[in-house]
Structure 1
């Protein structure tokens, strides 16, 4: 699968560089440009080479939502993740109306930032760029992926750091391949039982699929693949 191409837009060069660095730490994403004004952002967006914009709303020449509005008016399929300190309800409502995919308040941690990108990547994988959706539950699952956090209400005994390791290991796999609990344990340095607990948690959340793996005589092994 091709990397998701990201444009970082922020009027503060140091903050823009931090967001670029954060983005490039997340597997599956690559930064194709950095802009400090709405004008420069639109110039990059007109190339059609951007999948996702990390958009600051307080730009020196135009409000960031005007960039989002221009994208929609042009029929662009580029998605927008608002990265801003704007907390007023009116701005949030306008962002929703313009189809802003996520709204991330500054300041934030890398974990929160990565969570947004991970959910966006799963959303894109669940809704392909063309074709038809087979059933309502597929649409519901895609929208739920954007709304709910994978780290919300972790079962007792599970922690976010290990969950991040598990998710990263699964996302690094080639397409249509998976890992057994034992294989995952070897990769992230945990016991097989621990690895299975995290995999089962992800399976129950709809983030991985359980696949029976046949090959050796006896009971088939369970393989877990990204959904």
Structure 2
């Protein structure tokens, strides 16, 4: 069983991530921490073994990257998955350099979360099976296990169009309807709605009702910031 410490200064996020962990076979939450100092205290406790930390990177009492660096400097072998809304390339590069095994950007779906944990579990299981010296193919398999394959798009959706629609919503100053996106990108309203609904399902946009003319409200989509 892989023992997990959940670290986030948002109590609701701690509850959500804990519930997610408990839905994935082979993992158990053995601790929760609401900040950097609490995380370091929990990790220093000799009576509590921790294998994996789900670590937020922005907390009022210290940055998550500082926690990672202090752990590495102390020789701690615990693994880290960054779970954060920070998405700039400099931070991602620093996290990878510090030894973070996965980087999961908020908001995310349970499916995306489960993929990362299952990939990590495959990596741990592979290490446990390896004995003594490993071959190049075994090393490649171990490292490959950490790289969860990106979720496949539903049939009929294209990566390029999805990226264009996502950028249109992200850059908009206000929520957009499927009609707004269709007219801006030169696609049908049905097509625009399919892409918008997919973005909503994976947590990249939020659905909102927009009330205007009498009758049923129009559904609009706002970027999940």
TM-score (norm 1): 0.64
Q: Name segments (4+ residues, structure 1) moved above 6 Å.
A: none
Which 5+ residue runs of structure 1 have no aligned equivalent? 156-227
In structure 2, the partner of 1:56 is 56
Return the match for 2:24 from 10, 13, 26: 26
Find the residue that maps to 2:59 and give its secondary structure.
coil
C-alpha deviation, 1:91, in angstroms: 0.5
Question: 1-side partners of 2:23 and 2:66: how far apart?
Answer: 29
TM-score (norm 2): 0.64
Give the alignment of 1:145-224 within 5 angstroms.
Answer: 145-149=145-149, 151-152=151-152
Which 5+ residue runs of structure 2 have no aligned equivalent? 156-225
Cα deviation digits, residues 64-104 of structure 1 (max 9, x gap) = 00000011001111000000000111101100100100000
8 Å CA contact 2:115, 2:148 repeated in 1: no
8 Å CA contact 2:116, 2:148 repeated in 1: no
Q: RMSD of the alignment, in Å?
A: 2.0
Find the residue that maps to 2:57 and give its secondary structure.
coil
Distance 1:130 1:148, change over 3 A: closer
Q: Which has the larger radius of gyration?
A: 2
In structure 2, the partner of 1:38 is 36
In structure 2, the partner of 1:71 is 71
Cα deviation digits, residues 163-210 of structure 1 (max 9, x gap) = xxxxxxxxxxxxxxxxxxxxxxxxxxxxxxxxxxxxxxxxxxxxxxxx
